[in-house]
Structure 1
Amino acid sequence: GYVSYDSIRYIEKIPDNNPEDPKLPDQYFIFPSEIIVVDNEEQSVKIIVYGDNKEKIDKRIGGLYSFILNFSNNNHSEPGSNNSNCVELLSSFKKEEFEKAVLKSKRYIKEGEIFQVVLSQRFEFKVKQEPFDVYKKLRVNNPSPYMYFMKLDELYLIGSSPEILIKLKKGIAVSRPIAGTRKRGETDEEDKMLEKELISDEKELAEHIMLVDLARNDLGRVCKFGSVRVDELMRIEKYSKVMHIVSNIVGKLKNNYGSVELFKATFPAGTVSGAPKIRAMEIIDELESVKRGIYAGGVGYFAFNGDLDFCIAIRTIIIKGEKGFAQVGAGIVADSIPENEYNEILNKAKALILTLMEEE
């Protein structure tokens, strides 16, 4: 299921001044009694059924097996190509409003209240396709480590997130902040040039190190003393359209803490809020005009064995009825240029939404 960004108000005293649109539950989880696990690395499919009657379980497994065969035989179609820029995007900010918000954020930074804050815009658009077709396009256009398509009552949650929020496996917690981005090059030579440019950009590196320190501090609240370490620092990770600077932080969870305590200690990620985190979130509530909802929250699962795995809800589209919603953010620091930050968000939104929603 998911945990919305606004769920932070159950954990910390953050102001609550903005309207909610669309109206969604703060958290939504399902308890599945039947699961089909597709392992793309092993090219295998596993069926998991929960129950206490062997005869009924065997019958349900048979039904799921038939479903898999039928689905495989009837779902080979690829999403079609795009050929028009017909999507109208309605933003939660006008250009001048967003630029004023950036300037105010910079004043807070200059006054020493924060080092960075992530400001976002929410975009609304009309959905003209079936939600599952949108997901199939997303798999082709923007494959990422976390891909999800969820139908939750009347809500569809569709995403392609590259970033772990928090992961716990056999008592080892993992945080993997992403901060610093360049587009992929058209050629191998351009790709290498952009990679070198990114890894030597002092502004990007300073921002990344700050967020690594924030993730270390979050893990340190619930992990054993001396166990938190950075085992990968500022490596380049490449995706279909962009490359990122990525670090990996691990720690051993204290014996008296579980997955829920770990989630609360690390939520939300600093990469989508800012630093210091509490003050940054107060400023977000002041400067943004609508509640974030699912954006910048977490999508994932809590397991029976105590493990958990959540990604950050970015590069995510929400569909409710004929309306689609997507939100995109930009990290504001001392030398941010307001117009550049506005254009960066607009370009990110177009890259996510237009390629998926254009008529064929």
Structure 2
Amino acid sequence: MQVLTSWPEWERWAAEKKYTLLPYVLKSDLDLGLPVSWENAWQAAAPYSLLLENGKGGRYTYLGLRPVSVLKGKGAVAEMLDLSRPGSEAVQLSGAPLDLLRQWIRPYRSPALAASAALPPFTGGVAGFLGYDVARSLERLPSKALDQPGFPDYVWLRFEQLWIYDHAEQALYCAVYTPVVAAGCEGLEDLYQQAAAEAEAMLAEWRRLAASALTTTAAEADGIVAAVEAAGSGTDGMWPGMSTAFAVENFQAAVRAVQEYIRQGDVFQVNLSLRQEAPLASTPEQVYEWLRKLNPSPYMGLLRSPGFALSSASPELLVKLHGDKVSARPIAGTRRRGHTPAEDAAMEAELRGSEKEIAEHIMLVDLERNDVGRVAAYGTVRVPELMTVERYSHVMHLVSQVEGIIAPGKDAYDVIAAMFPGGTITGAPKVRTMEIIEELEPVRRGPYTGSMGWIDYSGDMELNIVIRTLAVQDGIGYIQTGAGIVIDSDPYREYRECHNKAKAVVKAVLCSEKLQELRNAGGAEGGATR
């Protein structure tokens, strides 16, 4: 084991008299591994908790089970909960979401650990989500769509203890942030020893989680998948028993309305989405476990809060700020996966050869370049990667990378304001497309096409785009997917593309419900649990 924040560093940081939190980070090089299932973690968690995972070729998993405070809100109304003081009343706040978020985290100042190559990019700070409708605080938008079921616009959790698992090094980091007085601190050494003891306790807790017995064996999981596939339900990307406010004929009419706006010169492309909803017969945690198995993705996450949860397998980064480097990774252009390697290669060739998909992708890369340019120093924006094909369980996408150097005087919240919501899930030009989305989509998007991720105490951050996600509120599940509409779009094909994108999440839901059914029955052949 290694202690990566030494006592002399604490003394130096305290002497600088500018920090309110000091970090203690313990690294275990023993290959403790990831828990095969997070189920036992949730049993030990507070009602608010969060997991962020790089599930496909990524490096880190972040787990926070017991936040010290929560900021959540709807529109201009918010509340802050101090979870470190049980029984304390919520503090009522008002203001724009990003302003409140900035004000909430501003008093917490800590040394910038991410500058060290030996440490993960996120060891402590706030993590949570921003719903799509936070855009209403950034742009003047109409209010036409139904606000149903009234999702929160944002939920953020502040952590002073965080587990970070490094997949590349197979190492675990236990990070503890200890409040200190900014002007120095009597008894600092006692606080250092207390932080060390807390980190050791976190390491012991992780050992218990990693060593916990499987709740479902690989063979049993395979049996559940086989049973779901044999039933044929959900193979078309439609959740059995679901309802939607956007019937196929209405969706196709909306596509034609978008095309008329394009003819009139209002827009070049609009991302139009539809939502499915149904009672969830399992739990958000179980759905997330199946998303990990069936559709591992670069920007996965599970946010838990009373009455509301998000289980996300997002492939897309909205924006990342690390030091002075701003990065975005737009996705635009989709084909389904082939059933054989030859068919898969043919689908890739079709995607790469599609003038429609290439034109749409280039247009949205230009939009992202413009958004990054709003907060980047002049002349620093570049596109080091253009139109790579990335594969996921049910679809493949065209992906690019846009980068820039942040301008002096700008911070993470300025970057979010410039980039949010992502242009790939609105269209171009962004503000006009959001007005059209509000006109044509029957319900507000809520979490869908918002962002989930983290902001650390030094101002670095990473946010995904909330797609390929199940939102759950009061026992009802919501799956929303979209398609980019251009002048030559076929309305029914775009409707089918929405359902193709929903297949992985629908399958995860059905597998989780099948598992719950077997548990309720006390186990069954091919799906018994331990």
CA shift at 1:239, angstroms? 2.4
Q: Deviations over 1:115-136 (max 9, x none)?
A: 0001111111121113222111
Letter paired with 1:6:
D
Choose the corresponding residue for 1:237, options 365, 390, 395: 390
The reply to whether residue 330 of structure 1 matches residue 483 of structure 2 is: yes
Deviation of 1:302 after TM superposition, in Å, equals 1.2
Aligned-pair distance for 1:238? 2.1
Give runs of aligned pairs for residues 225-304 of structure 1, distance below 5 A: 225-304=378-457
1:235 CA drift (Å): 1.5
- The aligned runs of 1:59-74 (5 Å cut-off) are 59-74=197-212
Partner of 1:33: 160
Residue 19 of structure 1: how far off its partner (Å) = 2.1
Q: TM-score, normalising length from structure 2?
A: 0.66
3-state DSSP of counterpart to 2:457: coil
Query: Shift of the alpha carbon at 1:75?
Result: 4.9
Q: Do the aligned partners of 1:87 and 1:126 also contact (CA within 8 Å) in 2? A: no
Q: 1:164–1:310: 8 Å Cα contact kept in structure 2? A: yes
- Name the counterpart of 2:195: 57
Residue 56 of structure 1, CA deviation: 3.2
Tell me if structure 1 keeps the 8 A contact 2:243–2:278: yes
Counterpart contact for 2:364–2:423, Cα < 8 Å: yes
- CA displacement at 1:341 relative to structure 2: 1.4
Identify which of 333, 345, 367 aligns with 1:214: 367
Retained in 2: the 8 A contact 1:88–1:125?
A: yes
Q: Which residue of 2 aligns with 1:45?
A: 172
Q: CA deviation at 1:104?
A: 0.6
Alpha-carbon offset, residue 253 of structure 1: 0.6
TM-superposed CA distance for 1:230, in Å, is: 0.8
Instruction: Tell me the equivalent position of 1:120.
Output: 273
Matched, 1:24 2:24: no
Shift of 1:148: 0.6
> Letter of the aligned partner of 1:251 in structure 2?
G
> Distance between the aligned counterparts of 1:227 and 1:147, measured in 2?
30
CA distance in 1, matches of 2:404, 2:359: 23
1:225-251: CA deviation from partner (whole Å, max 9, x where unpaired): 110011111121222332211111110
Tell me which moved more, 88-97 or 48-57: 48-57
* 1:42 Cα offset (Å): 1.9
After superposing the two structures, state which structure 1 stretch, 137-146 or 317-326, moved more.
317-326
Q: SS of the counterpart of 1:255? A: coil
- CA–CA distance in 2 between the matches of 1:242 and 1:102? 22
Question: Hey, what's the Cα distance between the residues in 1 that align with 2:154 and 2:495?
Answer: 30
CA radius of gyration, larger in: 2
Q: Choose the corresponding residue for 1:14, options 141, 144, 152.
A: 141
| Contact 1:259–1:307 under 8 Å retained in 2 | yes
1:151-172 deviation digits (Å, cap 9, x = unpaired): 1232111101111101111111
Out of 277, 280, 291, the residue aligned to residue 138 of structure 1 is: 291
**Native 8 Å contact 1:87 1:354 kept in 2:** no
Match of 2:116 in 1: none
One-letter identity of the residue aligned with 1:195: E
Q: C-alpha separation between the residues in 1 aligned to 2:491 and 2:130?
A: 30
3-state SS in 2 of match to 1:30: strand
Measure the CA separation in 2 of the matches of 1:350 and 1:190: 19
Give 2:471's aligned residue.
Answer: 318
Q: Is contact 1:165-1:269 (8 Å) kept? A: yes
**Residue in 1 that maps onto 2:261:** 108
Deviates more, 1:197-206 or 1:65-74: 65-74
User: Aligned equivalents of 2:439 and 2:261: distance in 1?
Assistant: 12
Q: Give the aligned residue type for 1:67.
A: E
Taking a change above 3 Å as real, the CA distance of residues 282 and 294 of structure 1, as seen in their structure-2 partners, is same
Q: Secondary structure at the match of 2:313?
A: strand
CA contact (8 A) 1:177 1:248 kept: yes
Match of 1:76 in 2: 214
Larger deviation, residues 56-65 vs 33-42: 56-65
Q: Give secondary structure in 2 for the equivalent of 1:282.
A: helix
Contact preservation (8 Å) 1:161, 1:312 = yes
Q: Please state how far the C-alpha of 1:45 moved relative to its aligned partner.
A: 1.3
Partner AA of 2:214 in structure 1:
H
Per-residue Cα deviation, 1:139-196 (whole angstroms, up to 9, x for no partner): 1111100111111232111101111101111111111111111222333333222222
Choose from 248, 254, 258 the match for 1:95: 248
Deviations 1:322-354 (A, max 9, x none): 211111111110011111112222333244214
* Alignment match, 2:328: 175
SS of residue paired to 2:204: helix
Alignment-mate amino acid for residue 42 of structure 1: E
**C-alpha contact (below 8 Å) 2:336/2:500 kept by paired residues:** no
Determine helix, strand or coil for the equivalent of 1:283.
helix
Q: Whose RCO is larger (CA < 8 A, sep 6+)?
A: 1
Q: Partners of 1:151 and 1:213 in 2: how far apart?
A: 36
Contact persistence 2:386–2:399 (CA under 8 A): yes
Q: Is the 8 A contact 1:236 1:244 kept in 2?
A: yes
Q: Deviations over 1:242-275 (max 9, x none)?
A: 2211111110110111111111011111110010
> Bigger shift: 197-206 or 184-193?
184-193
Q: Aligned residue for 1:305?
A: 458
Q: Which segments of 5 or more consecutive residues in structure 2 lack a partner in the other structure?
A: 1-127, 180-190, 234-238, 515-530
State whether residues 330 and 344 of structure 1, in contact with CA within 8 Å, keep that contact through their aligned partners in structure 2: yes
- 1:149–1:159: 8 Å Cα contact kept in structure 2? yes
| Contact 2:381 2:403 survives alignment (8 Å) | yes
Asked if 2 retains the 8 angstrom alpha-carbon contact of 1:128 and 1:357, the reply is: no
Please say which of residues 84-93 and 263-272 is displaced more in the overlay.
84-93
**1:9-61 C-alpha deviation (Å, 9 max, x unpaired):** 11110112222222222121110111011122221211111114234323322
SS for the counterpart of 2:260 is helix
